[in-house]
Amino acid sequence: MELINASTRYCAVLGHPVRHSASPAMQNAALKELNLPWCYLALEVHPQDLRAAIAGAKAMKLIGLNLTVPHKTAALEMVDVVHEKARRSGAVNTIVFETPSLGGDWVPLGQVAVEDVGPIRSHGYNTDAQGLARSLEEDFQWPDLRGASVLLLGAGGAARAAALQLAEEGIDSLFLVNRTGAKAEQLAAELRGGFPKIHIITRLPHDPVDLVINATSVGLKASDPPPLAEEWLESRRPRRVYDVIYRPAETRLLRAAKKAGCQTANGLGLLLYQGAAALELWSGRAAPVAVMRAALQKDIYG
């Protein structure tokens, strides 16, 4: 904080609520490591004020924004340009403010001196899918998902981003299960249209799968039941179980999966790598992931 002066530039995460966010700890550690005179803030923004908040950030020449619950879907309609991946995911989790360079190309504000900033546009991205891909690769030492069978629990924003990423990586079969079945059916229909070679089935698999992903919010509270019955885990024993939840570090699902002999990982890697990708978009620099991971672990787990 002592580094803040009249030249400091800003990024922020907008959420409602936002006080739980670990992104400021992670991003400010990275900014320090990269020696960038920027500061990353967490700002509480009510959904009805989101459009005004994005416009205000643009007017104040912020470098970029992250969006967390419940803003990701609404933001899609509030940015000037939407990246293809964000459009297909139906959600924006990162906004890059851009200005024309001398050559006329739009460049991120974070890569331009303030004096050179002209007109500004907001460019909406989604880095969650990329974050998940890097996390799966690293946490499971699993670089190639081609041909895999996956059970995906959920059909909200996180599940949607995961489903698209898995489909793009060429998995063989995707089992989609959600509390509200109609939402799983809708997501399945969209995926079948875009990826006709993938088997998309809206029920639990009968045979063991290579991967289970919990992309529901079930498990955030200690009192939550596991999103999959323990007997199912024991009898079908999937090879890997990934929970997008990272707080608590070990959900009931992961505990049961470990007991059943599955490889397990929580969503910390997703959080880390979606943030790393956002920082790379803003700064054009390689994100210092080791520093960011350490900052996250300290902030979340103490």
Strand (E) or helix (H) holding 11: strand 9-15
Measured distance CA(218)–CA(301) in Å, rounded? 20
Contacts of 62 (CB under 8 A, 6+ apart): 9, 10, 11, 12, 97, 109
Which residue sits closest to ligand NDP, CB atoms considered? 156
Select which of 61, 72, 183, 221 is catalytic.
72
Measured distance CA(6)–CA(169) in Å, rounded? 45
Cβ 221 to ligand NDP, closest distance in Å? Answer: 9
Cα 119 to its chain centre, rounded Å, is: 29
Which lies closer to ligand NDP via its Cβ, residue 39 or residue 271?
271
Which lies closer to ligand NDP via its Cβ, residue 202 or residue 274?
274
Residue 124 in 3-state DSSP? strand
Cβ 119 to ligand NDP, closest distance in Å? Answer: 32
Contacts with ligand NDP by CB under 6 A lie at 69, 128, 154-159, 178-180, 183, 215-218, 220, 244-246, 267, 270-271, 274
Spatial CA neighbour of 14 closest among 53, 52, 48: 53
CB atoms within 10 A of CB 264: 21
Measured distance CA(18)–CA(149) in Å, rounded? 35
Contact yes or no for 149/170 (Cβ under 8 A): no
Cβ 90 to ligand NDP, closest distance in Å? Answer: 10
> How much is the CA Rg of the chain, to the nearest whole Å?
20
Cβ 181 to ligand NDP, closest distance in Å? Answer: 8
Active site (annotated) includes residue 197: no
Please state at what angle helix 157-168 crosses helix 128-139, rounded to 10 degrees.
70
Which lies closer to ligand NDP via its Cβ, residue 13 or residue 271?
271
Which lies closer to ligand NDP via its Cβ, residue 238 or residue 267?
267
Cβ 227 to ligand NDP, closest distance in Å? Answer: 6
The catalytic site residues sit at 72
